Every structure is written in structure tokens, then in C-alpha cells.
Amino acid sequence: MKDNSRADIQKVRENIKEAELVLVGIGEEFSLKETNGRFKKEEYEARKEAYQGLQKLLQDKNYFVVTLCTDGMIRQAGLKDERIVEPCGSYYRLQCADKCTDTITVPDEELQNKIKDMFQGKEEKKNIERNLPDCAKCSKKLTWNTIEAENYAEEGYLEQWKVYTKWLQGTVNHKVCLLELGTGMKFPTVIRWPFEKITYFNNKARLIRIHSRLFQTTEEIKDRSTGIEYNPVEFVKELSIEA
């Protein structure tokens, strides 16, 4: 690792330690990538380690996490469910494909285990989709409650989004560390732009943006933001080593 990278990591550690509150945004660079209907075990293991590192960093902090990932891995790392919101949905929730009802179904334990196996590369996605349960109202097949669904049911995350916005209100005039991990321009209105806005209006806020390419921050907040060109998964793993 380069010396300047070590300096960046130490600086981020200090910012998290000194902050009264920590807001984490997890973007598409953290998502597990699907190739021909399968996910890679190696990617799963790398992200598992990173999420465990994140939990270690946040365990003694007042935090909230907004994630664009739909693989549900963040909920397996020991982070508190009530401190996480998934606006793009999750494979661990199901909805009617036609959205004849806004009911969100939580898979049973057997199906949850198959979904986890899918992300570890043990199961093909199409095989699991073929055996998803039927909608109790219209008897059509359920589908994943994610942004990729043709009729995405936002009800799956809206209640938790209210919890998040209420938490945000409590950050005003407090020392906040905003940590962006791999958030590019896929859904900039969810994390990237709001985090810049929070930093702009709160003079005690500090934005740290980690991305392999889109790490730049805006001129308006250059004195209270740091952009670091780095793989966010690897960065979190390094960040948590001495936490």
C-alpha cells in the first residue's frame, strides 16, 4: 500500500472517532456482481470481511447506513436492523410481480438459506426464481422486492426511510462524519447528492468519498470533504484493521 493511502486511512479513522454521528452510504461498487445468473464466492467472502470491518468501526457510534445494495449482506454483519435502510430493496423480501397488493413477504428460513447460497455461488438464480412462492391474493408468482422489479413496491423500505429522515434531523449542528463507499452516479439522488447537501449546510460535517473512479467532491464543500481514489471494499477492510 502507498504511504499516502495509509495517511488517508488514518485520517478517516480519526474522523470517525471524533464524530458525534456517522452516516454511511454504500453504493454500487459494493454490490455483488451477477455473471450469467451466478455470483462469485470470492466476491462474497471479500464483502463479508468488509461488512464485518464496518460493523467493528461503527459498533460504539451513533450511526445510520443507507445502502443501494440489494444482496442483504449488510444485515448479516451484526449491524443493527433499525440503523439500516435499503431504498433499492432486498432479495430477502418478496412482492407480487404485478403488485396487485403492496404486501411485502419475508421468505421462510429455507428460502433465505437458498438466497444466501445463491450469493455464495452455490445456487443459480433462475432455479430459485422458478420456485418462488405464489401471491396469496392473485396466485401469480412472487418476485424479488428490488428496484429491478417491473412494478417495484417501495413499501418495502418506506417505513424505515421515515426512521432515517428522523435520525437525519438530529444531526443538525452536530459533528457528523459522512462516509461514502462506492457510490457513483447510478442513483445520485439517494446518497451522493444528499450527502453533499448535508455537508454544505452543516459546518460541522465532514464528507469522505471513497470510489475507484468517481471520488471527486464539489468545489462548494472542498474544505470539508475528502475524495479518495480506492476500491471501497478493500478500503473498509484496511480501515478496520486497527479500529
The per-residue pLDDT for range 224-240, each reduced to its tens digit, is 999 999 999 999 999 88
The C-alpha R_g of the chain, in whole angstroms, comes to 18
Q: What is the pLDDT of residue 1?
A: 43
Q: What is the pLDDT of residue 37?
A: 83
DSSP 81: G
Measured distance CA(30)–CA(141) in Å, rounded: 29
**Residue 185 backbone zone (phi > 0: left; psi -120 to 50: alpha; other: beta):** alpha
Judge whether 24 and 64 are in contact, CB under 8 Å: yes
What's domain 3-89+153-240's superfamily in CATH?
Answer: TPP-binding domain (3.40.50.1220)
From first to last of the 243 residues of the chain, give the pLDDT tens digit: 444 577 888 889 999 999 999 999 999 999 999 988 899 999 999 999 999 999 999 999 999 999 999 999 999 999 999 999 999 999 999 999 999 999 999 999 999 999 999 999 999 999 999 999 999 999 999 999 999 999 999 999 999 999 999 999 999 999 999 999 999 999 999 999 999 999 999 999 999 999 999 999 999 999 999 999 999 999 999 988 865
- In this structure, what C-alpha cell is assigned to residue 2? 502507498
Measured distance CA(16)–CA(178) in Å, rounded: 9
